[in-house]
Amino acid sequence: MSHSHHTKTLPDQLAAPAFVAGWRSRALVIGAIFSAVAVVLGFLSGDGWSHFLRAWLLGLMITFGFSVGGMALLMVQYLSGGKWGLLVRRPLEAMSRTLPIPFLYFLPVAIFGVNFKKLYLWAQYPDAASAAKQHLITNEQAHAIIFKHGMLNPTTFWVTSLFCFAVWFLYSYLLNSWSLKRDADPAPNVPYWQTKFENISGFGVVVYAILLTACAILWVMSLDPTWYSTVYGLQFLVGQGYGVLALVILTLIGLSNAEPIKTIFRVTEQHDLGKLCFAFTMLNMYLAFASFLIIWSGNSPEEIPWYLDRIRGNWGVIATLDVIFHWLIPFSLLLSRDLKRIKSRLVVVCCIMIFARCWDMWWLIEPNFADARRNLHFSVGMLEYLAVPTALIAFWMAYYFTQLTKRPLVATNDPHLAEILEPEHAHA
């Protein structure tokens, strides 16, 4: 029998192992190579950098999901408790501290997409009525742009987005600085800190859900001004949880080759995190399919075109693959108890899950544009969806790894720490 019967002791050295610096330089190299590829493709594609910007938006949504979603999961684990929460706390804090990166990524989307009118139809045709008369846009689009003008205009876009970032920067600052203070607290006032974190997190989760809905609507949904769906924000929320869980498991498994994670990462908690992934896989599919089923049943001419844009003209293949990557593969694999307990296999599932997030985002973004809707076709610009997000995610990862090395990887002022050091069978 391999497992120990004795309570383990926490290693003296809690800092991130040295190989994290190696991960970072690898991420930087990948980022640099794919940036160069993206720029070359931008010149070759001859579409006025349109696809470059669309792919940039995809990269923004994925890295934004890791940062803000990581912060949301951090708050959720303060609220739910549980030993898995202690394990993931420092990686999630590191994710929440990467918020400056999505903010930098957001600026080009806002400046070029809105102010230079490269992405959003409502920014391009503020005078929608005359644009419709000249047949630049359809009557439905004109109607939607006029009707939604209060929300879909450059000022609201900037103000809302900056407000969301400001609130999240504040939350990221508070959660991170309190966490260090908690560890440094000479008197272990555990109930005091638990209450403090529960209070900020309970409110924070609600604020996060509302602000995320606003951002998802402004940044992605408004690419098609005619589209509306009340579950849209929630789908992004669950998608962020899905991606963050996959990333945090990858991080822990990567770090578990060395101390201190080697000591505290037990199979029980790995199994728990795998089960959470399974739950998110199910919830994600549930929301996506429920919204599709309702709109399919209603078959109303106001709603159904959004799906037809994403099914007809070979987009159906992409949608089917989306279901396979997003749900069928992770769901079938995560059914297995053994798989969740074997690191090398769980890693594969987590990689598929992160890839599926990008695939899904591509399917959400690209068919919004007139040249692509109901018409999936190859163009050089399409390759930007490979190059730009890879570069953006790689640079984000490099910053994330830097943040991981900034703090001890284990939060110490927490009663769960003693429990996690016990042998696995001490508690059921």
Partner 1 sequence: MPIVEGTYGLLAEFDTPTQLVRAAENAYSAGYRRMDCYTPYPVEEAAEAIGFHKNEVSLVCLIGGLLGVAAMFGLETWISLWAYPLNIAGRPYYSWPAFVVPAYEWTILFAGLSAAFGMLALNGLPQVYHPLFNAANFRNGASTDKFFLCLEATDPKFEPAETRSFLETLAPLSVVEVEY
Quick one: 198 or 424, whose CB is closer to partner 1? 424
Number of H helices, E strands in the chain: 19, 0
In one letter, which amino acid is 88? V
Please give the Cα distance from 283 to 289 (Å, whole number). Answer: 10
Please give the Cα distance from 60 to 415 (Å, whole number). Answer: 37
Please give the Cα distance from 175 to 178 (Å, whole number). Answer: 5
Q: How far is the CB of 129 from partner 1 (least distance, A)?
A: 34
Region near partner 1 per CB under 8 A, out of 147-155, 294-302, 355-363, 402-410 = 294-302
Torsion of CA 43, 161, 367, 138, to 10 degrees: -110
Please report, in angstroms and rounded to a whole number, the separation of the first and last CA atoms in the chain.
19
Near partner 1 in 63-92, by CB under 8 A: none
Among 155, 344, 377, 425, which residue interacts with partner 1 (rule: CB under 8 A)?
425
Region near partner 1 per CB under 8 A, out of 12-20, 31-39, 169-177, 286-294 = 286-294
Q: Does 3 sit near partner 1 (CB under 8 A)?
A: yes
Q: How far is the CB of 336 from partner 1 (least distance, A)?
A: 8
Token pair of 185 as six digits: 């607290």
CB atoms within 10 A of CB 427: 9
Q: How far is the CB of 335 from partner 1 (least distance, A)?
A: 7
Among 293, 317, 351, 418, which residue interacts with partner 1 (rule: CB under 8 A)?
293
Q: How far is the CB of 58 from partner 1 (least distance, A)?
A: 27
Torsion of CA 65, 70, 73, 78, to 10 degrees: -150
| Location of structure tokens 């879909």 | 152
Please give the Cα distance from 241 to 276 (Å, whole number). Answer: 10
Region near partner 1 per CB under 8 A, out of 32-40, 50-58, 134-142, 295-303 = 295-303
Q: Does 428 sit near partner 1 (CB under 8 A)?
A: yes
Among 147, 195, 289, 375, which residue interacts with partner 1 (rule: CB under 8 A)?
289
Among 296, 317, 348, 419, which residue interacts with partner 1 (rule: CB under 8 A)?
296
User: Which burial class, exposed, middle or buried, applies to 368 when counting CB atoms under 10 A from its CB (0-12, 13-18, 19+)?
Assistant: buried
Among 22, 48, 202, 423, which residue interacts with partner 1 (rule: CB under 8 A)?
423
CB 212 within 8 A of CB 73: no
Binding-residue total with partner 1 (CB under 8 A)? 16
Quick one: 139 or 320, whose CB is closer to partner 1? 320
Binding site for partner 1 (CB under 8 A): 1, 3, 5, 289, 292-293, 296-297, 299, 335, 337, 423-426, 428
